[in-house]
Amino acid sequence: MQCFSKNNFKAKVKLNESLPRIFIPLKLKLSLVDQKRSHDIGIESLNFSVIDKMDLCGRLFNFPSNILEKMKNLGVFQFERRIDHSKDPVVVLRESSVYIGQKLLDDNIPSKDRRIILIGNQGTGKSFCLLQAQCLAFQKGWVVLAIPRGIDIVNNTTPFFYHEKTGLWRQPEYTSSLLDKFLKANLDILDKIFLSKEYYAGNYIVPKFTPLSRLLEIGVSNLLVSHDILEIFLKELNIGNCPPVLFTFDNISVICSPTQYISNEYKAIHPYDLALLRTFYTYLNGEFSFDRGAIISCTSKSFNNSDRILEVSLGFLKHKSYENIDERIISVVNGVEHYVIGNYTPKESNNILKYYLMANIWL
């Protein structure tokens, strides 16, 4: 029996000596058992009435309940495996929030003119800035598509095969699960958008006037045509009177290192040769575009040297003579605007800690 104490708190814990000891860093241990709901302690919802007010920077906001449900369906809270961010999430309004909100104000700008990569040090809130962008886009009635964890595409955790016609490697299971998230998060909109013509996807014929929701259902239930369905879906979102589209990707840094997938020649497959990543890259570099919409991604410091390679390619850092920059990386970020997210200010950090205290969240 061991006794742990902190100030006036004491607890006796009986250790099972037959089990292995697993020690988790203190900063990762968030106790949410007795957490109070954010709206019960006066936290307001994030919306466009506050997003452009710099004087509100530092204040905390939650997501409207109907929007939160859409975001959960989209799987955007999966960017951090160790902590569940989907339970009554609260975010800080920051300068980056105002910047991203202003970028999304106009519904009529094509995505090729609104391509952004968020960069900054680890722990500066780049992923949370993406969450705010997704929340605001949902509120405006946009179609919101998200790839929440780029690492999951390159870490050899999903089946893949070589597609001879395109010369790219497809990941049918992952792509199918992605289509399912797109469907559930945007069902109310996709039910009302219909195919402009007949399409062929593998052995499937998808008739004209099929709802986009039904199109995605085909890709969800038939893995081998999931990528074909994805391509048709993205193409159709650019036809007729479709709403604007926000397409986000958390952790674009994965392009800078070989994947953990091995080809038939026993060589590591480059991310550029994965069909799913190539599809997103064609929208990020402006090769393909939505008539109305935005493409937003962010980097990660989790990869050695990858951020520097990206930041040099973006023109944020000066290229050194001895550095070899992969032309494929340069092509991916061609013409992309970058925004630097700084560290949390004392006011922002203080308000977060106050919220933890008020909500009974303890470290």
Q: Which two tokens stand for residue 112?
A: 């090729």
Q: Please state, rounded to an integer, the average pLDDT across all residues of the chain.
A: 85
Q: Is the pTM of this model over 0.75?
A: yes
CA–CA separation, 348 and 342 (whole Å): 12
User: Which residues have a Cβ under 8 Å from the Cβ of 310 and sit 6 or more positions away?
Assistant: 117, 119, 252, 253, 255, 256, 299, 329, 333
What is the reported pLDDT for 209?
A: 96
For the segment 143-159, the average pLDDT, to the nearest whole number, is 94
DSSP conformation letters of 68-86? HHHHHHHTGGGG-TTS-TT
pLDDT per position as a tens digit, 238-297: 998 899 999 999 988 888 888 999 999 999 999 999 999 999 999 999 999 999 999 999
For the segment 339-362, the average pLDDT, to the nearest whole number, is 87
pLDDT per position as a tens digit, 327-341: 888 888 889 999 999
Cα–chain center distance at 295:
11
What is the reported pLDDT for 241?
A: 85
User: What share of the chain has pLDDT > 70, as a percent?
Assistant: 84
* HEC per residue, 178-243: HHHHHHHHHHHHHCCCECCCCEEECCEEECCCCEHHHHHHHHHHCHHHHHHHHHHHHHHCCCCCCC
The angle that helices 172-190 and 65-74 make with each other, rounded to 10 degrees, is 150
pLDDT per position as a tens digit, 11-60: 333 334 443 333 333 343 445 545 777 877 778 899 988 888 888 999 99
Q: Is 277 within 8 Å of 265 (Cβ atoms)?
A: no
What is the reported pLDDT for 321?
A: 66
CA–CA separation, 309 and 299 (whole Å): 11
CA distances from 189 to 30, 53, 95, 103, 265 (A): 36, 30, 31, 22, 44
For the segment 222-232, the average pLDDT, to the nearest whole number, is 97
CA–CA separation, 98 and 334 (whole Å): 25
CA–CA separation, 352 and 193 (whole Å): 41
What is the reported pLDDT for 34?
A: 58
Q: In which element (H, E) is residue 104 found?
A: none
What is the reported pLDDT for 20?
A: 35
Q: Is 358 within 8 Å of 99 (Cβ atoms)?
A: no
For the segment 141-161, the average pLDDT, to the nearest whole number, is 95
Q: Is 259 within 8 Å of 274 (Cβ atoms)?
A: yes
pLDDT confidence band for 306 (50 / 70 / 90): low
pLDDT confidence band for 302 (50 / 70 / 90): low
pLDDT per position as a tens digit, 89-114: 899 999 999 999 999 999 999 999 99
**Is the pLDDT assigned to residue 322 strictly greater than 90?**
no
Phi/psi region, residue 125 (left: phi>0; alpha: psi -120 to 50; beta: rest), is: left
CA–CA separation, 177 and 229 (whole Å): 12
The angle that helices 226-236 and 212-221 make with each other, rounded to 10 degrees, is 160
- 337 forms beta bridges with 116
Q: Phi, psi at residue 116, to the nearest 5°?
A: -135, 140
Q: Phi, psi at residue 161, to the nearest 5°?
A: -150, 160
Continuous H helices in the chain: 65-74, 95-103, 126-139, 151-154, 172-190, 212-221, 226-236, 275-284, 306-313, 327-332, 346-358
What is the reported pLDDT for 13?
A: 36
User: What share of the chain has pLDDT > 90, as a percent?
Assistant: 61
DSSP at 51: T
What is the reported pLDDT for 334?
A: 87
